Chain A
Amino acid sequence: MSLLGRNGAGKTTMLSIIAGLLVPDAGTVQLDGLDALKDPESAARLLGIAPQETGIYPILTVRQNLEFFGELSGLKASRKSRASEVAEQLGLEQLLDRKASQLSGGEARRLHTACALVHRPRLLMLDEPTVGADVATRLQLIDAVRQLADDGAAVVYTTHYLPEVESLAADIVIIDDGQILARGTQDELIAAHQLRGVRFSVEGVLPHGLAEELNAVIVGDSTYRAVGDLDMRELLRLFGSNADQLTAVESLRPDLETVFLAVTGHRLEADASQDEATSAEEASA
């Protein structure tokens, strides 16, 4: 399940409450029929969490990190074999005897995630696992998440990066201001929250007041997106005598981004590091 929301929407808070790191003001947390607030130790055995910030022991080797977190979560003799299995799953098998302090950023990120799944949790929660990760790491993490889900684990994956959500092809939950606003598959959400709109580029400055009138947001160099009951004809009418400023106009196809906009009223910010990684990937391709 992809948990989609802006920064500050409540994604990390929700995961922290489920993991017992925060105490909720009200409500209950049910994990596989277990009340996690009343029996946190049993609940901890069922779940694995990789918090947003990388948390590993730099002074220990990859193997030692994996074995420790496995043992902490109740693994005994099997922790050694599980460490190897998880390392292989995340492309760390060649690095098992390397100190974590000597890993690259992407490798450290993979180890961070691997530590959360070493004890085969029934529920794995990954909080923005690909923030700051390179393209290869991102693909490996997404593959690992898919494999875990195929193996029967429930995976909650928070992100505000839409291409990842699309590539996971999982159920999506949209959260804003601590409230779940929509949930369903990508197709269901698009069908339920279709928005019309246009994307357009202009030469020079957008005529005064038009951005507000169109409720347009800038999405690139001199390129804007306006959603609502708007088509090309209406756009040209609103531009009036300034229509010759338009250099490109395109009808918007409903996608997750327009769904998010329709549901929350906000545009989803992209993570700059991920955009850069994608750009680098596209440039190298």
Chain B
Amino acid sequence: MTALLALTKVQLRIIRNDPWFLVIMFGMPLVVMPLFTKTMGLSLQASGFEGATGAEQVVPGQVVLFGFFVGGSVGFTVYREHGWRTWDRLRASAAPSVALLGGFGLPWIVIHVIWQSALFAAGALALGLNFNGGSPIALLLIITGYSMCVIALILLATATFRTVNQLSAFQNVGAMVFGGLGGALVPLEQLPGWARAVAPITPAYWAMRGHQDVFLRGGGVADVLPEFGVLAGSALVISALTVSRFRVDETKEFFA
């Protein structure tokens, strides 16, 4: 517990000392969103959501897409410890691997949730996204479930890959493939049949389904519980797999 708390605090402190990555990751989706709002509005209307403005797709879509990039940071922080030669010092504290993983993962889940929430708020202000009867608590559930799932997935990748370049490739390809298949780029209803068939294996699919429930169907907490259950349940299963795979004595290569 000591190591978990100390690591959590130091991760948050590092982010506070250098917040520019998050600032950029907050600005970029806001630049992209207006470019596709009108097109996505037409696309949603063609999918049967009359009166949709497009913000209901483009805001959650960009949050889900960029969420993979922001989540990737948790992996980079682990590799960075090796680059800074601080990893052995952490190991010398004899903290169990669960505490180390938690110390990296938990602060990033919190940051990821805050980052998503801020983008939804900005989307509401800039693009007129509104709940249309949907529940803000339901939205928070989906946001939290997605953050847990993405951070868990990135930590599993970190436990698996030896170099930061491998993680970077996974993060980039993962964002586009998972985001594309999951309905972050175009509405789920517009995806080809084969894509709709495989979409449920991606966290993006369950997040986008939950967001549709909230913003397009006026859904409440009960309506998004299945999606939240899949996201949170997947996060737990992935985390268990990560703990079993993670070897604290494995040397990771950061950028040379």
Contact = CB atoms under 8 A, between A and B. Distances in A.
A54 B90 CA distance: 14
SS class, residues of chain B in contact with chain A: helix
B6 A72 contact: yes
A47 B91 CA distance: 13
Given A71-B6, A71-B9, A60 B92 contact: no
A41 B94 CA distance: 5
A149 B145 CA distance: 52
B230 to A, nearest CB: 36
Interface string B88-103: 1111111100000000
A44 B93 contact: yes
Contacts of B89: 49, 51, 55, 69, 72, 115
Contact of A68 (B10, B85, B94): B10
Contacts of B85: 51, 53-55
A22 B91 CA distance: 10
B18 interface: yes
B86 interface: yes
A178 interface: no
B14 A20 contact: no
Contact of B6 (A21, A53, A57, A68): A68
Nearest to A99: B17
A40 B248 CA distance: 14
A60 B94 contact: no
B250 interface: no
Contacts of A64: 10, 13
10 contacts: A41-B95, A51-B89, A54-B85, A55-B84, A55-B89, A59-B14, A68-B13, A71-B2, A71-B5, A72-B2
Interface of B: 2-3, 5-7, 9-10, 13-14, 17-18, 84-95, 249
Given A20-B94, A59-B18, A71-B9, 11 more contacts: A20-B91, A20-B92, A22-B249, A43-B94, A49-B92, A56-B86, A60-B13, A68-B6, A71-B6, A72-B2, A72-B90
